[in-house]
Amino acid sequence: MIQRYSILENELQAFVDGQLDKEKHAFIAEYLNANPEEAQRVAAFRQQNDLMHDLFDDVLSEPVPEKLSKKPSSSVIKPGFQMAAAICLLVIGGFIGWIMHANIEQSIIVAENPIVRQAMNAHVVYTPEVKHPVEVDASQEAHLVKWLSKRLDTPIKSPDLTAMGYQLVGGRLLASDTGPAAMFMYENNTGERLTLLVRTKVANNSETAFRFHSRNDLRMFYWIDGSIGYAITGKINKSNLLDIAHSVYQQIHL
């Protein structure tokens, strides 16, 4: 198991920003899989980046107003302008602080549900991978299902989503706070990926209805069936994802 001290803060930031070579990226991806709390921090970093882009990308692309591009007649800034600028900065700072507070609260909510937390983190960590998104690819599907079923100590299936436009990429074994978990990955013809998380020994399993969760452009439906939890995650609209969740549910119960 990769130890916590082997990864530096700046390396996590570089991982989020896509500034690492493939070998280091794969190393940190393995580290995050073994350290769910660190993976949650990385997911929060990504969320903050997305938020800042959503807030300011449009502003950065706007042309400079003509009156601001003209050379000022005097180098002295009027006190009134200074006051207005100061108030503007305070308002923007307060707004960003409020947004960041809301994000922290959302992270706490996510942390309270292990299925949501792990499914989101696994999706964020593994779907960008090009060479090693899975441990066992779809060409060995029978072996993959048998292996994961044995490790989770319960029969599991790899649902067929070809009718929904997604092909199986493969799967991998994950660690969870209750023991082994499984992840299946799917991809459509445009390269968009979905992940299905399967966890056993799930507590508070009286609720069997589908539940929805979203974080920025990432959406998820998850449900609990007895002692097994399932979560289907992807960057597609809610309606299509719900259709896929229903298909997965029906195939699991065939």
Least confident stretch, 26-35, 175-184, 200-209, 221-230: 200-209
What's the pLDDT score for residue 99? 52
- Which DSSP helix (H) or strand (E) runs through 96? helix 79-111
Highest mean pLDDT among 18-27, 56-65, 93-102: 18-27
Q: What is the DSSP string of 118-179?
A: HHHHHHHHHTT-SS-S-SEEGGGHHHHHHHHHHHHTS-------GGGT-EEEEEEEEEETTE
Mean pLDDT of the chain: 79
Question: Which has the closest alpha carbon to 233: 207, 205, 212, 253?
Answer: 212
User: What pLDDT is stored for residue 102 in this prediction?
Assistant: 47
Phi-psi category of residue 226: left, alpha or beta, with phi > 0 → left and psi -120 to 50 → alpha: left
Q: Does the pLDDT value for residue 89 go beyond 70?
A: no
Predicted local confidence at residue 226, as pLDDT = 82
The arithmetic mean of pLDDT across residues 108-121, rounded, is 71
CB 181 within 8 A of CB 149: no
pLDDT for res 234? 96
Query: CA nearest 252: which of 173, 159, 163?
Result: 159
Report DSSP state, residue 71.
P
Handedness of CA 115, 119, 121, 126 (dihedral sign): positive
Query: Which range is least confidently modeled, 109-118, 170-179, 181-190?
Result: 109-118
Closest-CA residue to 177 (of 248, 121, 104): 121
DSSP lists the bridge partners of residue 167 as 187
Ramachandran angles phi, psi of 184, nearest 5°:
-110, 140
pTM exceeds 0.75, yes or no: no
Whether 102 and 51 have beta carbons less than 8 Å apart is answered as no
